[in-house]
C-alpha cells in the first residue's frame, strides 16, 4: 500500500514453505487455501500483531509479502475471495482483498464487508486493492465518512487517500468535496480515524498544484478548530504539503 499510512505493515519475513508448496499444486477451494495458510503460520508474527495495532480474534500470523505471494499464485477469483472472507480469519480476509475483482464489487458487497472491518490493515487492503477500482467508491467515501464505527469511518478516508492517486480521471471538484468532509470530521480523536483523515488530506494535497493549494487552505481552517486532534491533523499535513520537496515535485509535474 502506497503512502504514509496509519502504521507499518506486519513483519515481512518470507516463507520458504509457502513458495515450495505453491510450486507443487494449485489451490481452488477455501479449505485448501486455509490449510496452506495455516501451514506457513508464524507464531512470532502472530505475537507482534498487537504491537502494530491489530487486535483480532482469529489470526494465524502471516507476513504481508507471503500473503502477496499467495495472491499471485491464486490469481483473481471473486468467488474464492467471498469464501475466504466468510472464514473470519484475519489473513484470509486480507488475501480476499488481494484476489477479489474490483469490477465485480457492488455497493451491497462493500456494505457487507465494511460492517465486519475489525482492523486498520484489513481496511486499508480492501480500499487499496479492491475498492479504489470499484464503481461505488466515491459514493462510499461520502457515506462512510459519517459512520459512527471507527473502522467504517476509517474506510472512508483510507479510500479517499487511495483514490487520490489511483483514480487518474477524477476531476479536482471531487477531491475538493472530500476536503470539505475532511474539515467536518477533523475533530474525531480516535486513533485510526484521525490518522486516516490526515492521510487523505495529505494525499489529496499532493495530487496537483491546485489541490495542493486547496488542501493547504483546508488545513489552515482545520488548525483553527477547537480540537487538539484537528490541530495535530493540520500541523502534520501543512508540514508536508508546504515542504520544498512536495512543491518542487508538483511544479515539475505541472510543467
Which residue in the block uniquely carries the three cell numbers 490526515? Answer: 198
Q: Is residue 106 part of a domain?
A: no
CA 225/CA 59 separation, integer angstroms: 40
pLDDT tens by residue, 219-244 = 999 999 999 999 999 999 999 999 99
Q: What is the pLDDT of residue 117?
A: 98
What is the CATH number for 215? 1.25.40
Say yes or no: 79 and 142 in one domain: no
159: helix, strand or coil: helix
- State in Å, rounded, how far the first CA of the chain is from the last one: 28
Asked if residue 80 and residue 171 are part of one domain, the reply reads: no
pLDDT of residue 11: 38
Which pLDDT score, from 0 to 100, does residue 231 have? 98
Q: Which residues of the chain have pLDDT under 70?
A: 1-25
Range of the domain at 38: 1-100
In a domain, 108, yes or no: no
Residue 192 lies in a domain: yes
Q: Of 55, 85, 100, which residue is a domain's last?
A: 100
pLDDT of residue 215: 98
Q: Are residues 133 and 237 in the same domain?
A: yes
Say if residue 133 is in the same domain as residue 213.
yes
Query: Cβ atoms within 10 A of the Cβ of 41, count?
Result: 15
Same domain (yes/no): 164, 253: yes
Looking from the CA of 91 toward its CB, the CA atoms found within 13 Å total 28
Torsion of CA 94, 97, 100, 104, to 10 degrees: 150
Q: Is residue 166 domain-shared with residue 58, that is, in the same domain? A: no
Q: What is the pLDDT of residue 25?
A: 56
Number of domains, the chain: 2
Give the model's pLDDT for residue 97: 98
How many other CB atoms sit within 10 Å of the CB of residue 55?
10
pLDDT, tens digit (0-9, with 9 covering 90-100), for 116-144: 999 999 999 999 999 999 999 999 999 99
* 217 lies in some domain: yes
Amino acid at each position: 500500500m502506497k503512502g504514509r499510512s496509519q502504521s507499518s505493515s506486519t513483519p515481512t519475513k518470507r516463507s520458504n514453505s509457502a513458495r515450495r508448496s505453491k510450486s507443487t499444486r494449485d489451490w481452488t477451494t477455501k479449505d485448501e487455501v486455509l490449510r496452506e495458510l495455516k501451514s506457513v503460520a508464524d507464531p512470532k508474527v502472530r505475537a507482534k500483531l498487537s504491537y502494530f495495532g491489530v487486535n483480532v480474534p482469529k489470526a494465524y500470523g502471516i507476513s504481508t509479502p507471503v500473503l502477496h505471494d499467495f495472491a499471485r499464485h491464486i490469481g483473481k477469483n471473486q468467488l474464492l475471495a467471498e469464501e475466504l472472507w466468510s472464514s473470519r480469519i484475519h489473513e484470509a480476509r486480507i488475501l480476499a482483498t488481494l484476489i477479489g475483482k474490483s469490477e465485480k464489487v457492488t455497493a451491497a458487497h462493500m456494505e457487507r464487508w465494511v460492517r465486519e472491518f475489525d482492523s486498520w490493515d484489513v481496511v486499508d487492503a480492501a480500499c487499496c486493492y479492491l475498492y479504489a477500482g470499484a464503481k461505488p467508491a466515491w459514493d462510499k467515501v461520502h457515506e462512510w465518512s459519517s459512520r459512527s464505527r471507527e473502522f467504517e469511518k476509517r474506510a472512508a478516508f483510507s479510500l479517499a487517500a487511495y483514490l487520490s492517486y489511483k483514480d487518474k480521471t477524477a476531476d479536482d471538484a471531487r477531491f475538493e468535496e472530500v476536503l470539505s468532509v475532511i474539515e467536518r470530521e477533523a475533530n474525531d480523536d480516535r486513533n485510526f480515524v484521525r490518522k486516516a483523515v490526515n492521510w487523505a488530506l495529505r494525499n489529496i494535497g499532493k495530487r496537483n498544484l491546485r489541490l495542493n493549494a486547496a488542501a493547504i487552505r483546508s488545513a489552515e481552517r482545520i488548525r483553527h478548530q477547537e480540537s487538539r486532534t484537528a490541530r495535530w491533523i493540520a500541523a502534520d499535513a501543512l508540514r508536508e504539503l508546504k515542504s520544498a520537496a512536495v512543491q518542487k515535485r508538483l511544479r515539475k509535474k505541472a510543467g
